[in-house]
Homo-oligomer: A and B are copies of this chain.
Amino acid sequence: MKRFLDLADFSREQLLGLLELARRLEAQPEPRALAGKILGLLFFNPSLRTLASFQAAMARLGGTSFVINPGHGSWVLETRRGAVMDGAAAEHVREAIPALASYCDALGIRVFAEQRDLASDLAEVTFNSMAELTEKPLVNLESAVNHPCQALADWKTMDDLGVPPGGRFVLSWAWHPRALPLAVPAAALHMAALRGMQVTVLRPEGFALPEPVMERARRAALHSGGTLRETSVREEALEGADILYVKEWGATACYGDAAGDAQLRATLGSWCVRNDWFAHTAPGCRLMHCLPVRRNTAIADEVLDSARSAVQREAANRLTVQTAVLHELLKS
């Protein structure tokens, strides 16, 4: 394994192998496996779990890491090819990425969607423009429309909880003051489809996921024996659900148009997940969310503080699956 950029790059067997390795390393840690190895972490955007858990994962394996935040103690970086750099950016990623890569054994990059042009974000133009600049093992720490570490942690979380591979998985939109990127909904949807689940996307009118995101999940479902449908009717979606996976995202129709998006979401305050959302789910239905989550706007305290919530297990599994990913990428 040379890179961990997208679950779609791996066969189902490879992914099950990674999850098995994660469980093995939980049970039998290998505190010297990556002794002397260095992970470089490049964050263009804020982070809590990814920032802490990757440093912790390297340390658990005996390795070390360093963190670079462009614009915060480090230079603002330009990502556009051919740019005439007379603005704020002091350096181009074409110089920065190879330099950082030369100081480490593997590199992780987080760069959120620009949220200006949907096609560009769907094509991962920015992330890929950096990925092509190094041959070193590379990890996607969240890109425009992907977050494979979160997706793998979520997969393991459902395994841990005993959710059957063919269980009912509802990905539901939730309210947020701003249009958030599509990385987590796209990755979670794809993961649930890969896992073979009966997947429903529940979202208000105007917030359908882009067709390429749906199509990719549909193909994964077809291959794994899962199903995929979408609806804006909450009762219908949640009926019998085993997992309610909640996420906030922007309106596809208004992509890059903050005002239009704001108008669309203005009346959607009822999309804050409360206990009554679970009235007709399976009795043991669990709540999932990648975090960070805004309490009492996206999800109410009564749900997050209940036994239904699996968000802490998801967060903890970031460390366990990333330990496996790093072990695969860097173990000699």
Listed in ascending order, the chain A residues whose CB lies under 8 Å from chain B are: 29, 31, 35-36, 38, 40, 43, 46-49, 51-53, 55-56, 59-60, 62, 64, 66-69, 72-75, 78, 82-86, 89-92, 94-96, 98-100, 102-104, 177, 291-297, 301, 304-305, 311-312, 315-316, 319
Query: Are B85's CB and A296's CB within 8 A?
Result: yes
Find out whether the CB atom of B56 lies under 8 angstroms from the CB atom of A38. yes
How far in angstroms is the closest Cβ of chain B from A57? 8
> Measured between alpha carbons, how far is A67 from B66 in the docked complex, in Å?
10
With the chains together, A132 CA to B36 CA distance in Å? 34
Contact A46 B74 (CB under 8 A): yes
Contact indicator B102/A297 (Cβ below 8 Å): no
Minimum CB distance partner of A36 in chain B: B31
Docked pose: A297 CA to B84 CA in angstroms? 6
- Extra contacts, 14 of them, besides A52-B100, A86-B177 (Cβ < 8 A), are A43-B73, A46-B74, A48-B74, A49-B99, A51-B66, A59-B66, A64-B64, A82-B296, A83-B296, A84-B295, A86-B297, A89-B294, A98-B315, A103-B316
- Asked if B103 contacts A52 (CB within 8 A), the reply is yes
Tell me the smallest distance from the CB of A330 to a CB of chain B, in Å.
13
Quote the shortest CB–CB distance from A323 to chain B (angstroms).
11
Contact indicator B90/A294 (Cβ below 8 Å): yes
Whether B312 pairs with A99 at a CB distance below 8 angstroms is: yes
Query: Nearest Cβ in chain B — how far from A72, in angstroms?
Result: 6
Query: Which residue of chain B has its CB nearest to the CB of A317?
Result: B102
Residue contacts A-B, CB under 8 angstroms, 17 given: A31-B36, A36-B60, A43-B73, A48-B74, A48-B100, A51-B68, A51-B74, A56-B104, A82-B301, A84-B295, A85-B294, A91-B294, A95-B315, A96-B292, A99-B315, A102-B316, A103-B316
Q: Are B319 and A102 in contact (CB under 8 A)?
A: yes
User: What CA separation (Å) do A62 and B37 show in the bound complex?
Assistant: 10
Please state if A47 and B64 are interface contacts (CB–CB under 8 Å). Answer: no
Contacts of A62 in B (CB 8 A): 36
Contact present for A304 and B43 (CB under 8 Å): no
A165 to B77, CA, bound (A): 35
What's the Cα separation between A311 and B296 when bound, in Å?
Answer: 47
Chain B's closest residue to A180 (CB) is B90
Complex Cα distance, B103 from A225, in Å, reads 35
List B contacts of A304 (CB < 8 A). Answer: 94-95
Contacts of A297 in B (CB 8 A): 84-86
State whether B83 touches A295 (Cβ < 8 A).
Answer: yes
Contacts of A38 in B (CB 8 A): 56, 59-60
Residues of B within 8 A of A52 (CB): 40, 66, 68, 99-100, 103-104
Pick the residue among B75, B99, B104, B294 that contacts A86 (CB under 8 A). Answer: B294
Q: How far apart are the CA atoms of A52 and B305 in the complex, in Å? A: 35
Residue in B68, B85, B293 whose CB lies within 8 Å of A48: B68
In the assembled complex, the CB of A20 is this many whole angstroms from the nearest CB of chain B, namely: 21
Please name the residue on chain B nearest to A305 by beta carbon. Answer: B94
